[in-house]
């Protein structure tokens, strides 16, 4: 039962926070048509950031108390956050480079 509750919690967190994050950055990508075409990269960046947030903070305040819960290593966290920032910026470079 706790596993099911945790799964529903993960779906809720990714759904609500993902939609909120996308609503915040969606208007930024509507600057030009080419940037809007590659806005899906921003959506992936939001999901990567939510993954890092969940693995490093949110999983420890959950119903599931399994022994395999661990934080991501500092190197993995930093590389995922850097990749996410790169994915946020990439549509602007593609928009200016391809136009």
pLDDT score, position 69: 80
State pLDDT tens for residues 7-53: 898 999 999 999 998 888 888 888 777 788 888 999 999 999 999 99
| Residues ≥6 apart with Cβ < 8 Å to 99 | 32, 34
pLDDT score, position 78: 97
pLDDT score, position 90: 92
**Nearest Cα to Cα of residue 48 among 74, 68, 76, 69:** 76
Compute, in degrees rounded to 10, the torsion defined by CA atoms 14, 16, 20, 26: 70
Looking at the predicted structure, is the pLDDT value of residue 99 above 70?
Answer: no
State pLDDT tens for residues 77-98: 999 999 999 999 998 888 777 6
Write down the pTM of the prediction: 0.86
């Amino acid at each position: 039962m706790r596993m099911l509750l945790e799964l529903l919690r993960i779906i809720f967190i990714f759904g609500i926070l993902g939609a909120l994050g996308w609503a915040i950055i969606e208007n930024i990508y509507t600057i030009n048509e080419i940037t809007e075409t590659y806005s899906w990269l921003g959506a992936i960046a939001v999901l990567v950031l939510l993954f890092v947030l969940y693995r490093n903070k949110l999983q420890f305040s959950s119903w599931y108390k399994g022994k395999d819960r661990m934080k991501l290593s500092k190197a993995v966290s930093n590389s995922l956050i850097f990749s996410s920032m790169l994915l946020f910026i990439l549509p602007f470079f593609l928009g200016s480079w391809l136009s």
